[in-house]
Structure 1
């Protein structure tokens, strides 16, 4: 009887310990899960804040460019037309008055065109394919270097904020090539796949050392921008062997 009582006691003790261990395990797993949830939430909030900051910076850059454009147009174009109009209207000859009226109409037309350029909603109407071809076309007309463009697949419709950042990254890559690479040719290729877009930008310029601090800061800025829209950037460059840049942006609708 004593042995049976001892066995029962041991079974109860073992069961209690096992229950405590199971309860401890469950509590630990719950705590770990909650900790991960908190970390993921913090990471998501951090990424969201970085994204909003990037969008604001991009919009600020566009606003600054727009203001510079407005200043140039007011000074070099509209201001000149108004000065010419004033001189023309100061002349009392009938033909000069008629010429002055034509100049006034031209000023009104130029002001209307300028007001249209102030609308930052242009991103919604931008076709990425057409935009890149226009940017490359400018280089070709200036005889800066040769250009090549290629596109495969059906275009993906991205929301305006993502498209805006992507445009600015592409523009920055082109600007870097123009300022530093001294290329004979710049190539851009857009490959639209079902679930992502791949943008390849390459040149045959002087290249650069990707380990240099100055180059690193520029690359980090581009990487940060792509990260905020869920994309990535790969940069490969060697001295005297040119630069190859690959932008990858997932299709959130896929």
Structure 2
């Protein structure tokens, strides 16, 4: 027989704690999901489902509305299940008197009824509810038109539109071509063969060392300081003349 593996008590304890933590998280998530679903009004969902079922009975339900109906029925079951799980802790909603269910009518009857009421004004209802609380006091005193405005009369003196591009014979006048732009004169390059005269003496004086130029300025008295007599004699002997 194979030897049984010994169970580590510390590992078994960690595994049990991990399992308890997982189950606790699942309960918390389920409780949060129930609270979120319980905030939805089941009566409102039921009314939406009944309206869609009435449209389905008339045969005017679109494929998109069929998917919406299936989703609403699924949501309603989840909301009721969540409210039952919460019990007294479930939020309360005001109870409204449910409107009487109207017998399903055909689409043709609804269309005929819409055509009969199209363009009509309910004067009595407008006069009864003229002082409704929904109307702001700033605009309550503004008079409203009682009837539709009269049609706009056409001006008999208005001249018919005449296209300026159509001539007296009824044919379209061709467009006049614009004036042809004057071609710009291209610049001409002139080549000259005149000799270039160079002043070599003037060019040679430009390349005087700075030390020599400084001594020339000192001999001429423009160096910034006065020279002694022996310094002037020494510069003159070196070839610097004033």
- If the length of structure 2 is used for normalisation, what is the TM-score? 0.23
Largest Rg, 1 or 2: 2
In terms of fraction of residues, the more strand-rich structure is 1
